[in-house]
Amino acid sequence: FASTYRDGSSYFVLLIITDGVISDMPQTMEAIVQASILPMSIIIVGVGNADFSAMETLDGDVRQLSSGGRTAERDIVQFVPFRKFLQGAGTWQSRQMQLAKEVLAEIPGQVVAYMSKHNIKPGPIPVTIGPH
């Protein structure tokens, strides 16, 4: 679906909420590498007590993801372990705000990276005139 909007008119965010580990890591890595050329980001939120260490590999913050000899065009994955925000300092409301901040933290940079990589310049800001 995202492949039909490569002109920069739309950008997509896929949110995956999972309570388990990835059983098909090579296929998942390949899909992410292929998706890295599309106008999209992937947010993965790990819930529960599973070992999510493999998710950090997908995140691409430390090393750019590669699969089958191809390297991802850009980092499009943000992994956040939900349990990090269940307990800790601050009120539940402040932890919820911190969760939202961390989940969305990389999206602006990922959008800019896509637009820059494809030489897409921002269009004019639409002006709407409404009743005064």
Q: What residue spans of 7-132 are helical by DSSP H?
A: 25-35, 53-59, 92-104, 107-117
* Residue span of the structural domain in which 38 resides: 2-117
The 10s digit of each residue's pLDDT in 47-98 is: 988 888 888 878 777 677 778 888 888 999 999 999 888 877 888 899 899 9
Report the alpha-carbon distance of residue 70 to residue 34 in Å, rounded. Answer: 9
State how many domains the chain has: 1
Q: Which of 38, 30, 36 is nearest to 8 (CA)?
A: 38
Q: Which two tokens stand for residue 82?
A: 């939900």
125 assigned to some structural domain: no
Given a cut of 90, whether residue 9 has pLDDT beyond it is no
Q: Which two tokens stand for residue 32?
A: 């992410």
Report the alpha-carbon distance of residue 132 to residue 130 in Å, rounded. Answer: 6
Given a cut of 80, whether residue 120 has pLDDT beyond it is yes
124 assigned to some structural domain: no
132 assigned to some structural domain: no
131 assigned to some structural domain: no
102 assigned to some structural domain: yes
